[in-house]
Amino acid sequence: MSFESLWAVQSAIGRDPDTGGYTRGGWTPTEREATHWFRAECATRDLTLESDGLGNLIAWWDPAGDPRGKPALRPAPRAGNVASGTAGNGSGSAGPPGASGGVAGHRPDVAGSAEPSSGSPDGGSRSALYLPGGEPAARRGVVTGSHLDSVIDGGAFDGPLGVVSALAAVDRLRAEGFVPRVPIGVGAFVEEEGSRFGMPCLGSRVAAGVLPAEKALALTDRQGVSLRRALEDDGTDPAGVGPSPLLAKMGTFVELHVEQGRGLTAPVGVASSIWPHGRYRFTFTGEANHAGTTLMEDRHDPMLTYAMTALAANKQARLAGARATFGRLSVEPNGTNAVPSTVTAWLDARAADTATLESLLAAITRQAVERAERDGTTVVVTPESVSPIVDFPAGLRDRIVGVLDGAPVLPTGAGHDAGVFSAAGVPTAMLFVRNPTGISHSPAEFAEEDDCLAGVEALAAVLKDLAK
């Protein structure tokens, strides 16, 4: 199936008829529908689909693992964190009505030393592991893909472009008659945006063991529904949530993503790094009072403290060449004719290096505290998630640049699952597809079809090089 056909079907799922945007929070009906679509496409291709306890998915193409030239289909395990199949129901999420297909169990976790091979980015390899007795136990594969969830009223390309392009790249390689020496996996990782439970890269953080299961399950959405409850409502046992066995099979990860700024002028580029970034909750507390009878000089208004803090964040970010955004706000009691008692605001801050990020946060916090003293209010700053800088391996990056005939290299201020996997020790790279306007996290997000097709071609070339 062509990229265009795949994109037409996937991009219709959950599109808001009024705004043209998407709201696919984790484990919501629209996100589940997109996940069912992915499962069905994997079944159509006879890919071996595996899910961990949270619902992260990887579909494997491994013709070298089956003498018939198709992925070997294995019985599903009765215990453990991985459930497998092609499109039918499995632990983690239900399949689409009427879906069917083979069911495959995961290979056991193994320990041992790696055999050198061309499948590794630096000459050494994570692609073939051996048990102490020297017998082959599992071959680590090259994984690509991205996520299917979105921010609130987000664009079509952020995440899904990487998933659709991965399927299209596998189709292209198959059509060429290419037989990978190691498995190629197509991944779809859950709740990357964190738009429902407030934790970015939730699926990959749990998979990598960065976010403990108990903390993840205790997260709540804006309606007070916990992740534990959301999983139970989806038919998933929360007891299976934890570090993912899927990572034991991931030798290399290459994520294709729409570029989310105007820094890329060629159709396809390669990432050098991800800026350090964090989400911080500012809680401003004052005194509720009557809007009509309380003198201005008698007020303890936390909204004023917040407003001045937002202005300070804008100024400090501009001075530092960084990014600072207050994009979410909660007000209590939230009455038109009442001075607020509490204002809670969430700051997203990003910078090119850790020192600048820390300095930016300190400056904003200092000005917030100073303003609170003037207003007779208080402010408490709570980090909710902080991600360090990620420098992608130079050897892998340069190898991909060579495969793509000198594609441009650029950093990004956006966070990605690729950053989590890289920090976890998986050799990781990113490809970017040009965004002509630079607009992202908006219904206006866009990429030209020709650039998307160039992305598929580039991704296929990279996968072929890494899996040969």
Q: Which residues are annotated as a binding site?
A: 147, 158, 193, 257, 279, 337, 350, 441
- What interhelical angle do 3-10 and 29-44 show, nearest 10? 150
DSSP assignment of 104-152, as one string? -PPPPP--S-BPP-TTSTTSS-SSEEE-TTS-EEEE-EEEEEE-----T
Which residues are part of a known binding site for allantoate? 279, 337, 350
Are β-strands 390-391 and 268-274 bridged in parallel, bridged antiparallel, or unpaired? antiparallel
Closest CA to 419 of 409, 411, 429: 429
Closest CA to 379 of 389, 391, 370, 369: 369
Buried b (16+ CB within 10 A) or exposed e, 435-452: beeeebbbbebbbeeebb
Where do the H-state alpha helices sit in 125-222? Answer: 160-176, 202-208, 213-218
Which residues are part of a known binding site for Zn(2+)? 147, 158, 193, 257, 441
Q: What end-to-end distance do the CA atoms of the chain give, in Å? A: 23
Q: Please give the C-alpha separations between residue 360 and each of 348, 378, 401, in angstroms, as whole numbers.
A: 11, 20, 33
